[in-house]
């Protein structure tokens, strides 16, 4: 049985299965969402209008038996935040269940009658549209709980909070985790607002009795997944007791702070005096202390079934009960250092608010920092920062401004230090101190995005010997290579963090490629990674051109060119011409 497309039209509440067209057969995850957006969404459409589409796609290997750390779901369409193409992915329960139903992608199009909200349930036998009035207006914690009571098969729940209902540009899409809590967010780019325009409060995916993922070459797949799993479990960073399971992604807080690249108080300096207090080490310490005699706090928590890395955590209240999952690096930074806040409990409470209301924590933290700079509250005012989320939840005019993200808030409060590229705010790496990430921020089709340019080994990337990664002159080629490698990994369904073991352990890389080839039957080897990634990038870049983007949009914010950043006291300084080299191939390579 071949994989298929599930096309849902919200204008007439219809759902139909279609064979997967030949042109999309080779794509999964991000490759597929971007191909569908490129083929079916007019680039000049309004992202909140009827011509935009929301596409949901598991990766190539998602749902296949025992593929390690492979539970990413891609969400794609035209972004209300950036105005360009967007792919944003999340862990949680959805990816594997969609894949086991042999659905390559769910395409949601059209718009329902105004004021109508729906719950869509999908199982192997039917797609049902139900009135969602009873869950409209509720936060995602309550929605997840209600839907698991209503559907006792522990389904995946894809949903939006109040931010998505208001169609705010910082609305994310939640996927529930194994404990049925929101927190696995396809957060970036406001795709929750697109789901809101479709009148969908939640989608329930039940894979009971599903046929499962077909494996084209079982022997090759088994060999590949074993190699990849072994590499993950061998690497210092990803093995049991290694850095990621011990401290989570917030392991980076102290490193980036030591490096002078931790954006602090709205990107005004590169080191935060309170960094240690919001770091992964402190998260681990707090969990150990509060849960010494038992409790729900946990490091080494898996964000989706089958993850062997387990970099998530459950941050506890004083009494050891669950407060929120998960406090990640970007979250701790955005709601902590960038707001001058050094109290982990407040960071955790604000993360809970984001998870419940349905906001991207990066954009939300940056927005609070902008509001602080604009005088709405003081840097470090943790009580005040927490209350800003009530404004959004309660749908006040101020909340609607804050929920639109950094640029709208900066305009409302007269702030010129606006750390955005393509209207999306920067994550937790200062481009003045860490110039390579700045090239990626500037040029990726996604807007400023730290996950857009992941490293891959030079011998694999094909850049070894061609460029010097230690020179500024090679930054364009390197960034392109990283962006292409990331586009490939985002298509597999594997978590990006497999990049560490496959970078350092050659058999891990081979295992990743073999497992993909084994599941799909596609002739994919290590040499294909960059060309396939570039195909995806080309579609994304051309979509953005159609949406009106030019080279002038591939720029770092002006203030970074004239405000030196402490402690290195450096400005950005990479010439525009170097940035323009990153994508010049799109129209030159045929």
Residues that bind another protein (CB under 8 A): 235-237, 241-244, 246, 251-252, 254-256, 258-261, 270-271, 276-277, 279, 281-282, 284-285, 429, 433-438, 440, 450, 453-455, 457-458, 464, 468-470, 472, 475, 478, 482, 499-500, 503-504, 567-568
Looking at the Cβ atoms of 200 and 456, the one nearer to another protein is 456
Burial of 585 (0-12, 13-18, 19+ CB in 10 A): middle
Q: How far is the CB of 72 from another protein (least distance, A)?
A: 17
CB of residue 369 to another protein, shortest distance in Å: 20
Close Cβ partners of 116 (under 8 Å, ≥ 6 residues apart) = 199
The DSSP secondary-structure symbol of 125 reads S
**Minimal distance in Å, beta carbon 344 to another protein?**
11
Q: What's the rounded Cα separation, in Å, for the pair 38 and 546?
A: 10
Pick 20 or 283: Cβ nearer another protein: 283
CB closer to another protein out of 74 and 257: 257
Least Cβ distance, residue 507 to another protein (angstroms): 13
Closer Cβ to another protein, 9 or 507, answer by number: 507
What DSSP state is assigned to residue 460?
H
What does the block give as tokens for 466?
A: 């061609």
Of 244 and 487, which CB lies nearer to another protein in the complex structure?
244
Min dist. Cβ of residue 530 to another protein (A): 14
Contacts 24+ apart (CB under 8 A), 393-400: 393/139, 393/162, 393/353, 393/356, 393/357, 395/162, 395/166, 400/166, 400/168
Q: Where are the alpha helices (DSSP H) in 358-452?
A: 361-373, 382-393, 397-402, 406-413, 435-443
How many other C-beta atoms are found inside a 10 Å radius of the C-beta of residue 580?
Answer: 16
- Specify the residue, 3 or 432, whose C-beta has the smaller distance to another protein: 432
Least separation, in Å, of the C-beta of 438 and another protein?
A: 7
Question: CB of residue 455 vs another protein: minimum separation in angstroms?
Answer: 4
Question: Considering the complex, what minimum distance in angstroms separates the CB of residue 236 from another protein?
Answer: 5
Question: What is the token pair recorded at 537?
Answer: 């990038």
Q: Which residues contact 289 (CB under 8 A, 6 or more apart)?
A: none
Element (H, E) at 424: strand 424-425
The alpha carbon of 142 is separated from its chain's Cα centroid by a whole number of angstroms, namely 23
Of 197, 192, 162, 138, which is closest to residue 360 (Cα–Cα)? 192
**Between 457 and 516, CB nearer to another protein:** 457
User: By C-beta, is 175 or 499 nearer to another protein?
Assistant: 499
Question: Element (H or E) spanning 245, and its range?
Answer: helix 243-247
The residue (of 488 and 500) whose beta carbon lies closer to another protein is 500
Cα end-to-end distance, the chain, whole Å: 36
- Residue with Cβ nearer another protein (474 or 546): 474
- Exposure string for 499-519, b = 16+ CB within 10 A, e = fewer: bbbbbebebbbbbbbbbbbbb
Gap between the Cα atoms of 492 and 28, Å rounded: 6
**Cβ 338 to another protein shortest distance, Å:** 16
Q: How far is the CB of 109 from another protein (least distance, A)?
A: 35
């Amino acid at each position: 049985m071949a994989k298929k497309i599930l096309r849902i039209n919200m204008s007439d509440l219809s759902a139909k299965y279609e064979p997967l067209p030949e042109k999309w057969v080779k794509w999964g995850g991000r490759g597929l969402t971007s191909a569908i957006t490129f083929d079916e969404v007019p680039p000049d459409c309004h992202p909140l209008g009827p011509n935009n589409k929301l596409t949901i796609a598991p990766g190539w290997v998602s749902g296949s038996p025992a593929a390690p750390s492979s539970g990413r779901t891609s969400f794609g369409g035209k972004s209300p935040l950036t105005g360009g193409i967007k792919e944003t992915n999340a862990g949680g329960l959805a990816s594997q269940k969609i894949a086991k139903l042999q659905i390559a992608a769910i395409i949601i199009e059209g718009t329902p009658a105004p004021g109508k909200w729906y719950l869509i349930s999908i199982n192997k036998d039917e797609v049902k549209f139900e009135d969602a009035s009873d869950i409209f207006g509720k936060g995602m914690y309550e929605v997840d709980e209600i839907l698991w009571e209503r559907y006792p098969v522990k389904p995946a729940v894809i949903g939006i909070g109040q931010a998505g209902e208001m169609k705010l540009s910082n609305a994310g899409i939640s996927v529930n985790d194994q404990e049925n809590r929101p927190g696995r967010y396809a957060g970036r780019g406001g795709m929750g607002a697109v789901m809101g325009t479709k009148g969908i409060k939640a989608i329930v995916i039940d894979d009971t009795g599903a046929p499962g993922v077909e494996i084209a070459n079982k022997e090759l797949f088994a060999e590949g997944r074993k190699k990849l799993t072994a590499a993950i479990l061998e690497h210092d960073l990803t093995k049991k007791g290694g850095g990621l399971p011990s401290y989570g992604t917030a392991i980076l807080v102290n490193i980036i702070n030591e490096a002078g690249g931790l954006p602090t108080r709205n990107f005004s300096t590169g080191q935060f005096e309170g960094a240690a207090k919001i770091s992964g080490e402190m998260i681990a310490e707090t969990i150990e202390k509060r849960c010494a005699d038992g409790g729900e706090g946990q490091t080494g928590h898996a964000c989706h079934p089958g993850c062997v890395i387990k970099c998530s955590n459950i941050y506890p209240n004083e009494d050891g009960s669950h407060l929120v999952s998960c406090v990640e690096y970007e979250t701790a930074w955005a709601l902590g250092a960038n707001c001058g806040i050094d109290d982990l409990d407040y960071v955790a409470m604000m993360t809970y608010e984001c998870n419940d209301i349905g906001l991207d924590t990066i954009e939300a933290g940056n927005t609070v920092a902008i509001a602080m700079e604009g005088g709405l509250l003081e840097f470090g005012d943790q009580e005040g920062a927490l209350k800003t989320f009530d404004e959004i939840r309660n749908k006040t005019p101020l909340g609607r401004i804050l929920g639109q993200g950094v640029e709208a808030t900066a305009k409302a409060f007269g702030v010129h230090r606006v750390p955005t590229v393509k209207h999306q705010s920067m994550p937790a790496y200062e481009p003045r101190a860490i110039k390579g990430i700045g090239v990626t921020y500037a040029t990726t089709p996604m807007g400023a995005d730290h996950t857009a340019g992941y490293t891959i080994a030079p011998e694999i990337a094909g850049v070894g010997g061609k460029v010097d990664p230690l020179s500024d002159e090679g930054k364009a080629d390197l960034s392109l290579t990283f962006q292409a490698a990331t586009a490939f990994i985002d298509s597999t369904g594997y978590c990006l963090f497999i990049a560490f073991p496959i970078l350092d352990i050659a058999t891990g890389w081979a295992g990743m490629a073999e497992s993909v080839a084994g599941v799909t039957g596609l002739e994919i080897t290590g040499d294909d990674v960059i060309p396939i990634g570039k195909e995806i990038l080309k579609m994304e870049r051309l979509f953005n051109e159609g949406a009106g983007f030019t080279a002038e949009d591939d720029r770092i914010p002006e203030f970074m060119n004239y405000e030196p950043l402490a402690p290195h006291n450096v400005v950005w300084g990479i010439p525009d011409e170097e940035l323009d080299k990153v994508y010049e191939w799109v129209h030159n390579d045929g």
